[in-house]
Amino acid sequence: MANLENLYPRTGDVQTIYLKNVISRNNIEVGDFTMYNDFVNDPKDFEQNNVLYQYPINNDRLIIGKFCSVACGARFLFNSANHTMTSLSTYPFPLFFEEWGLEKKNVTEAWDNKGDIIIGNDVWIGYEAVILAGVTIGDGAIIGTRAVVAKDVPPYTIVGGIPAKPIRKRYDDAAISNLLALKWWDWSEEKIAENINLIQSGNIRKIVTVQP
């Protein structure tokens, strides 16, 4: 079975890693087998290069499920990248509290807090895609190259563009419901290995007959 403690799952490939093995921040969670590829920077620097504006003062979280594929340059942009839209000015006065005689405890009023970024299981995030704070991406979704995702993405939906919009669903509604109930990504490694041909075949009618 797979060695999930192995940083590099492919022999001789130092551009592709099991992402969870390089996570050090308490507010980032990554599921088993989720991979990240980077041919520009060292993939081990994912937190520094790809998870941006995630300041501890916000307590905002990045949660990525199992068996996701994250392409080179994909970025997750958190709440501190925002400037407040409730003020007459977008200038971040609270950030410069010393200059303007404001309360340090109110520094987060400089930006709007839209919440966590939550990525489901078996999600493919394309090259240089950007996921904004507050977005939830459902299981099985595909995010197109250089898409900017500002709104939630339903399960098994392909989105692309700036801002990202739905292109099509990968399967019909009944098939999507069956896949979401099946949750193959939660199976044991042994069970996945036994049924990997069915998973790869794309034959939903057969895969849903697998016994729990």
Indicate which residues carry an active-site annotation.
83
Rounded Cα gap, residues 156 and 176, in angstroms? 7
For residues 12 and 179, give the distance between their C-alpha atoms in angstroms, rounded to a whole number.
Answer: 34
H or E element: which one contains 27? Answer: none
DSSP annotation of 107: G
Q: Which token pair is 30? A: 């990554």
Give the start-end residues of each E strand in the chain. 16-18, 28-30, 35-37, 51-52, 62-64, 69-70, 75-77, 117-119, 124-125, 130-132, 136-137, 142-143, 148-149, 157-160, 165-169
